[in-house]
Amino acid sequence: MKKFSMSRAALVGAAVVTFSTSLFAQTDSTLRQLAEARGRFVGAILNSNWFNYGLGDDAEIYENTHKSQFNIVVAENEMKFDATEPKRNSFSFSKGDKLMAYAAANGMQVRGHALAWHSQVPQWVPDLAAKVEKEGGSAKDTLLAVLKNHIENVVGHYKGKIREWDVVNEAIDDTQPAAWRSGASQNPSVWCKYIGREFIDSAFTWAHKADPDAKLYYNDYSLEWGLAAGSKAQFAVDSVAKRLKAAGIYITGIGTQTHISDYHVTTPQNVQALAKALEAEGLTMQITELDIGFDKKDVSKADFEAQGHLYRQFMDLFLEAPNMEAFVIWGFSDKYSWLADLYKYNGLIFDSSFVAKPAYDSLVASLKAHSADKVTKVADAKPLTWEKTSPFGNATYVIVDYSEAGAESRGEWAGDVKNGNAKFVSEALAGKTGYMNVPLAGCDQNADYCGYQHAVYTLPQDVVDSNILNKCETLLFTTYGTTGSTAYVNFGMNEPWVSLQNGRPVAAKTWSGTTVDLQVVRDSSFSPTQLTINSSDLSALYIAKIEAVGCPDSNSAPVSPKDTTHKDTTLALHESTRLGGPFSATATPQLEVFDMQGRYMGTLQATQLQASQLHGENLTQMMRAKFNPGAYLVRSGRNLQRVNVK
């Protein structure tokens, strides 16, 4: 049973950025309209849930709110090092490209965040440095080469498209007096540890060479605490901004993250002083990650009004400073905020129901209080165009949907060794008519035995026969966490257990989307027959729906997650395609060759060979003469053979 629905918009678009006319004309002025009239950028991140189809029923209101209120956008995590280069020299741009298409379609500009940071660095980077050092080589030279290659590829991929980059993020330690985040730090930077301060100079040099038109920033937190001697802010001005400028290394300015609490009432004046200090050096300052959280969940009307007053002070100083261009909030709805991980709450300008708070009203009031002719306008805003399309399709394949009345039970659940079988529940739970109560092992995911203690879902036969999971971008589970706080679940497939993604967050006491990347499946040569689920902190998980998202528009063509120069055709797999069968006898069979992701690589002309000879070493020798070592799929008609060229 195949269920397809066109649920994703095509990732292509181009729009013109103008500061005189908004794309979203409304009776009441939005933040975006007011900011554009004043020649400034007001923005917010797109939360990782947006990139991973994890917004559920909130998807429409989330996106509509974002694109109507903001004209500059940042990815929460999807342009960081671990997201863009998860393996050495293997780059992934699909989610960044999705952001670019969204921004272009909605007339926005983009901030790139972040090229060099001590956090969210993939483990292969420090492992490589340690290995080289142990073998007597230069870890410094090795990591300089790694960083150079990363910056050239990432910045080069978006050359002329991204307005500004956070080139280096948080290189200054939290010590007093401030110092670099070296190997002696409690939270060291792999770049500082093995390279030293030089990595900052190199990063800015390489980024400027990769895109001479992009604006380049150093970004950090705790800069809002003032310019006292020994402070992080003063260190950033002296040891980053002034030093790079004096050395002739291009830097546009400094970004102050400004993650604060409601009682940090002196921070606006400190940020204003920092802007003036940078203005004196001919440099720009941006507010890059603003949020103002509460340390308590029970917040009064007076508390929200005070929070709004603090937000307004930041907008006031932003509009009054001639050397500021962007005012960016780290989110906009309290429902999708990182603050809960810090035990802070209600820090954004819309509540969890996307209703504007006093903070929003205060920002509007500040913008209206500063007439357009009194605000220094950004003079060099260029329209963003983006014509690249997603390598994935636009369709959703519904594997099972228990949430509807009279839901059909497809596939088969088997419980883990500890808790027994999963159970279908038909009673309503938070708006869902039916769901599966799935028992989980509750074991440590790092333990050797954990992979064998999980709930197993045997996929419906049509999912297996169509090999649909090999063709789609991600799995989307509609889940309900049974604990009082966010839990983390590990997803795998088949026996022996193969990990898809560990530690996927599951929201507590509410239905939400949980996504699982299908990269492992796409890179493999077999069709999964089972999904496996376990958790170290959740004894049961409710699942109302399982979907494959980003699928081909029809169940006929696999998709590739990677960029390729071979774009003239892709391998079309049909349900009658046979893997491993003999090729049909023809006088001069023409064989089409594809890589393991279905990308066309070329042809082989097998002149005067009988069909019985087109296999084994004969076929391998023919392949070896034309193709590089690797695994390939060779097709003749509806028959496929896998060939390993060594």
Give me the residues paired with residue 634 across strands: 593, 641
Q: Which of 551, 586, 605 is the last residue of a domain?
A: 551
Flag whether pLDDT at 511 surpasses 70. Answer: yes
| pLDDT at residue 566, rounded to an integer | 27
Higher pLDDT among residues 470 and 138, named by residue? 138
The candidate with the shortest Cα–Cα distance to 266, out of 331, 325, 317, 338, is: 317
Higher pLDDT among residues 645 and 146, named by residue? 146
Of the pLDDT bands very low, low, confident and very high (cuts 50, 70, 90), residue 253 is very high
Higher pLDDT among residues 343 and 561, named by residue? 343
| pLDDT at residue 634, rounded to an integer | 74
Higher pLDDT among residues 629 and 156, named by residue? 156
* Average pLDDT of the residues in 499-507: 80
Number of neighbouring beta carbons within 10 Å of residue 592? 17
Flag whether pLDDT at 534 surpasses 60. Answer: yes
Give the DSSP per-residue string, 204-229.
HHHHHHH-TTSEEEEEESSGGG---T
| Residue 556 in domain | no
DSSP-derived letter for residue 518 is -
| pLDDT at residue 616, rounded to an integer | 60
The distance between the two most distant Cα atoms of the chain, rounded to a whole number of Å, is 87
Q: Which of 340, 365, 386 is the last residue of a domain?
A: 386
State whether 522 and 544 are in the same domain: yes
| Residue 22 in domain | no
CATH number of the domain that 461 lies in? 2.60.120.260
φ and ψ at 303, to 5 degrees?
-60, -45
Flag whether pLDDT at 283 surpasses 60. Answer: yes
Give the DSSP per-residue string, 280-349.
HTT-EEEEEEEEEEBSSS---HHHHHHHHHHHHHHHHHHHH-TTEEEEEES-SBTTS-GGGGGT-B--SS
Beta-carbon contacts of 448 under 8 Å, excluding residues fewer than 6 positions away, are none
| Residue type present at position 23 | L
* Average pLDDT of the residues in 87-100: 92
Distance CA 556, CA 468 (A): 9
Q: How far are the Cα atoms of 84, 146, 316, 518, 571 from residue 309, in angstroms, in the given order?
A: 38, 45, 10, 45, 59
State whether 377 and 425 are in the same domain: no
Beta-carbon contacts of 391 under 8 Å, excluding residues fewer than 6 positions away, are 94, 559, 560, 561, 562, 563
* Lowest pLDDT segment from 85-99, 405-419, 461-475, 534-548: 405-419
State whether 162 and 307 are in the same domain: yes
| pLDDT at residue 567, rounded to an integer | 27
| pLDDT at residue 143, rounded to an integer | 98
The two tokens of residue 304 are 């929200």
pLDDT digits (tens, 9 = 90+) for 16-55: 333 333 333 343 589 999 999 999 999 999 998 898 877 8
Flag whether pLDDT at 335 surpasses 80. Answer: yes
- Asked if 281 contacts 227 with a C-beta cutoff of 8 angstroms, the reply is no
- To the nearest 10 degrees (0 to 180), the angle between helices 198-210 and 139-157 is 30
Say how many domains are in the chain. Answer: 3
Number of neighbouring beta carbons within 10 Å of residue 628? 9
| pLDDT at residue 330, rounded to an integer | 98
- To the nearest 10 degrees (0 to 180), the angle between helices 301-320 and 358-369 is 30
| Residue 497 in domain | yes
State whether 183 and 277 are in the same domain: yes
Flag whether pLDDT at 84 surpasses 90. Answer: yes
State whether 365 and 420 are in the same domain: no
| pLDDT at residue 443, rounded to an integer | 53
What's the full length of the chain, in residues?
Answer: 646
Distance CA 121, CA 86 (A): 9
pLDDT digits (tens, 9 = 90+) for 189-231: 999 999 999 999 999 999 999 999 999 999 999 999 999 999 9
| Residue type present at position 73 | V
Q: How far are the Cα atoms of 75, 321, 515, 568, 634 from residue 391, in angstroms, in the given order?
A: 19, 43, 18, 13, 22
Beta-carbon contacts of 274 under 8 Å, excluding residues fewer than 6 positions away, are 223, 224, 227, 233, 237, 254, 256, 285
Pairing state of beta strands 395-401 and 540-551? antiparallel
- Asked if 133 contacts 139 with a C-beta cutoff of 8 angstroms, the reply is yes
Kindly list the strands in the beta sheet with 630-636, ordered across the sheet, starting from the edge strand earlier in the chain: 578-579, 639-645, 630-636, 590-595, 600-605
| Residue 565 in domain | no
Higher pLDDT among residues 61 and 14, named by residue? 61
Distance CA 466, CA 527 (A): 9
* Average pLDDT of the residues in 109-133: 96
State whether 599 and 531 are in the same domain: no
Q: Which of 356, 386, 416 is the last residue of a domain?
A: 386
Coil, strand or helix at 561: coil
State whether 407 and 360 are in the same domain: no
Provide long-range contacts, Cβ within 8 A and 24+ apart, for 25-30: 26/68, 29/364, 29/367, 29/368, 30/68, 30/69
Of the pLDDT bands very low, low, confident and very high (cuts 50, 70, 90), residue 321 is very high
| pLDDT at residue 412, rounded to an integer | 81
State whether 421 and 537 are in the same domain: yes
| Residue 6 in domain | no
Number of neighbouring beta carbons within 10 Å of residue 632? 20
| Residue type present at position 564 | T
Averaged confidence pLDDT in the chain: 83
| pLDDT at residue 361, rounded to an integer | 97
State whether 445 and 592 are in the same domain: no
CATH number of the domain that 630 lies in? 2.60.40
| Residue 127 in domain | yes
Distance CA 541, CA 437 (A): 6
Distance CA 376, CA 323 (A): 8
The two tokens of residue 430 are 């938070």
Give the DSSP per-residue string, 381-404.
----EE----SS-SEEEEEEE-SS
% of the chain beyond a pLDDT of 90:
52
Half-sphere exposure of 202 (CA within 13 A, CB side): 20
| pLDDT at residue 415, rounded to an integer | 67
Handedness of CA 481, 484, 488, 489 (dihedral sign): negative
Flag whether pLDDT at 605 surpasses 90. Answer: no
Residues with a known catalytic role: 170, 289
| CA angle at 390 for the pair 389 and 396, rounded to the nearest 5° | 130
| Residue 2 in domain | no
State whether 219 and 88 are in the same domain: yes
| Residue 11 in domain | no
| pLDDT at residue 418, rounded to an integer | 54
Q: How far are the Cα atoms of 371, 435, 474, 551 from residue 4, in angstroms, in the given order?
A: 51, 21, 15, 9
Distance CA 639, CA 579 (A): 6
| pLDDT at residue 613, rounded to an integer | 55
The candidate with the shortest Cα–Cα distance to 125, out of 198, 184, 189, is: 189
- Asked if 31 contacts 360 with a C-beta cutoff of 8 angstroms, the reply is yes
CATH number of the domain that 132 lies in? 3.20.20.80
* Average pLDDT of the residues in 135-150: 97
pTM score, whole prediction: 0.72
% of the chain beyond a pLDDT of 70:
78
State whether 265 and 190 are in the same domain: yes
Residue in the block written with tokens 């095509």: 10
State whether 304 and 363 are in the same domain: yes
The domain of 361 spans: 30-386
φ and ψ at 385, to 5 degrees?
-120, 145
Flag whether pLDDT at 637 surpasses 80. Answer: no
Q: How far are the Cα atoms of 11, 99, 535 from residue 390, in angstroms, in the given order?
A: 6, 11, 32
Of the pLDDT bands very low, low, confident and very high (cuts 50, 70, 90), residue 414 is confident
Distance CA 604, CA 627 (A): 10
| Residue type present at position 294 | F
Residue 315 zone, left/alpha/beta (φ > 0; ψ -120 to 50; rest): alpha
Cis peptide before 439 (omega within 30 of 0): no
DSSP-derived letter for residue 474 is E
- To the nearest 10 degrees (0 to 180), the angle between helices 139-157 and 124-134 is 150
Distance CA 419, CA 320 (A): 62
